[in-house]
Structure 1
Amino acid sequence: MRLTVLGCSGSVSGPDSPASGYLLTGPDMTPTVIDFGPGVLGALQRHLDPGEVDIFLTHLHADHCLDLPGLLVWRRYHPNPPTGKAVVYGPTDTALRIGNASAEIGGETDDWSDVIDMRVWQADVPAPFGLGHTVEARRMYHPPESYGLRISTAAGRTLVYTGDTALCDEVFELASGADVLLSEASWTHDPANRPPGIHLSGHEAGLIAAQAGVGELLLTHIPPWTSREDVIAEAKAVFSGPVHAVSPGEVFDI
């Protein structure tokens, strides 16, 4: 399984990065983009035809989903439109929320069922993902309906993505024994400067990696106003394994 970083800026798109978006590819696997924030559609075009991908959405904050209306335009009006529908997994109200954002008239909802096969996450129930692969969604501690994802390949390799979350028992359980943990690290570890129950610090991302026994920690969702160097240092102080803050265009084989 290959992970390609399309965008990794936290909360907003940054000067050098789209917001959240990660491309998964591999044998017997439909190319799939995890989250689809502002700028991701453009970055995706550097790697493959956007009409070929399925989508996993962790939650519906704007920085994780608001390039999807552009994908609808691509699938409907490209002169060589893709065949079939894209599968989109997401929270309960995904079709309504994205339909509202895509509607031509205020107060209406764009019915995207002409190009999208919408499926709602069933928490803690692994879903088939290609041939022999699975994806499990688990609720995280974040204001809207939010999920972390555990992707397991037929070959026995595991990638866990926290999505957006604060510390909770579920994120430790989801990450347990993962080969690679892709964890948000939105703040430095100073509780006085951040509200509780929203995001992780670099220290907390490292703590999850250490206690869950993961093989490698990839830090992401670092906003433009947060020091990458500081969150990396925090994570390394509590996790002895490899730590790296991802950048757009980077590729990781898992």
Structure 2
Amino acid sequence: MLLTILGGCGAWPAAGQACSGHLVEHDGFRLLVDLGHATVPRLLERVGADRIDAVFISHGHPDHCADLNPLLRARTMRDDPPAALPVYSLPGALDAVLALDRPGVLTGAYVLHEFTAGSGFDIGPFRVQTRLLPHSVPNAGIRLTAGGQVLAYTGDSGPSPDRVELARGADLLLAEATHVEQVPEDSRRYLTSARQAGRQAREADARHLVLTHLQPGTDASAARAAAGAAGYDGEIGIATSGLSFDLS
């Protein structure tokens, strides 16, 4: 399983970067997990829009799904459009982004598969398990298994035992860590710090931790240090556009 980071900024894309977006590949199948602001240009540097096999969106905030619109446009506004793209999301999460175009423009460009958080299903070669994790809107954490490897991704989420269970024994935990040490009081139920993510990775016995969704301007080295100070002694990375991780 190969993970390529398209973007790792929280809220808005910093200069030269992009918001949450990830390309996950296995046995020639290409799955996109989240498509926030500015991720499609990063994607198209690597692969054509018509070569994507499926999309999974964790929740409906635009820094996680806004670029679904340009992806679908790039697939359908051509002389030889590919087959409809399977798109997986929680019920209603994509209503706003799918309504950006006038009716009919994207007809046939996608097939929407809405699921209930907590359910499991297959997407191509990936076995998918989802969990409802606490956020200001419904958010589905995802655990992907393929070829004996496990990738866990939290989307955006406040602290929860379910984050630990989602990542239990994962080869790589891609964990939201918007803040370094402390989350502002009004967001503590909905977001997580790098220190908390490190503690959760330790409790889950995840082999590799990658911190993502850092607020633009955050000191990446401070975030990495905070995760390590929580007792996690595995490898710690920062999600940055262009980085790839081979889970084998």
TM range (shorter): over 0.9
Return the alpha-carbon distance in structure 2 between the equivalents of residues 199 and 242 of structure 1.
22
Runs of at least 4 residues of structure 1 off by over 3 A?
Answer: 109-113, 191-194
Q: Which amino acid aligns with 1:81?
A: P
Deviation at 1:99, TM superposition (A): 2.3
Structure-1-length-normalised TM-score: 0.91
Map 1:59-70; keep pairs closer than 5 Å: 59-70=59-70
Give the match for residue 97 of structure 1.
96
Give the match for residue 85 of structure 1.
84
Aligned partners of 1:121 and 1:137 also within 8 Å: no
Return the alpha-carbon distance in structure 2 between the equivalents of residues 78 and 215 of structure 1.
43
Deviation at 1:112, TM superposition (A): 4.1
Return the alpha-carbon distance in structure 2 between the equivalents of residues 193 and 110 of structure 1.
44
Deviation at 1:110, TM superposition (A): 5.8
Q: For 2:79, what is the secondary structure of its paired residue? A: coil
Q: Which amino acid aligns with 2:161?
A: D
Deviation at 1:168, TM superposition (A): 0.9
Give the match for residue 171 of structure 1.
163
Aligned partners of 2:8 and 2:214 also within 8 Å: yes
Q: Which amino acid aligns with 1:233?
A: A
Give the match for residue 44 of structure 1.
43
Task: Give the total of aligned pairs.
Answer: 245
Map 1:11-50; keep pairs closer than 5 Å: 11-27=11-27, 30-50=29-49
Matched, 1:237 2:229: yes
- CA-based RMSD of the aligned residues comes to 1.7
Matched, 1:220 2:212: yes
Given the alignment, which residue of 173, 197, 205 partners 1:205? 197
Aligned partners of 1:95 and 1:118 also within 8 Å: no
Deviation at 1:49, TM superposition (A): 1.0
Return the alpha-carbon distance in structure 1 between the equivalents of residues 137 and 60 of structure 2.
7
Map 1:134-145; keep pairs closer than 5 Å: 134-145=127-138
Aligned partners of 1:99 and 1:110 also within 8 Å: no
Please list every run of 5 or more consecutive structure 1 residues that lacks an aligned counterpart in the other structure.
Answer: none
Note closer, same or farther for the CA distance 1:177–1:40 as it changes in structure 2 (3 Å cut): same
Matched, 1:117 2:108: no
Return the alpha-carbon distance in structure 1 between the equivalents of residues 245 and 157 of structure 2.
23
Q: Could you list the per-position Cα deviations for residues 5-55 of structure 1 after superposition, in whole angstroms to 9, with x for gaps in the alignment?
A: 11111111111311111001121x521111011111111111111122111
Q: For 2:209, what is the secondary structure of its paired residue? A: strand
Deviation at 1:145, TM superposition (A): 1.1
Return the alpha-carbon distance in structure 2 between the equivalents of residues 91 and 111 of structure 1.
23
Q: Could you list the per-position Cα deviations for residues 67-88 of structure 1 after superposition, in whole angstroms to 9, with x for gaps in the alignment?
A: 1111221122123322x11010
Please list every run of 5 or more consecutive structure 2 residues that lacks an aligned counterpart in the other structure.
Answer: none
Return the alpha-carbon distance in structure 1 between the equivalents of residues 56 and 72 of structure 2.
15
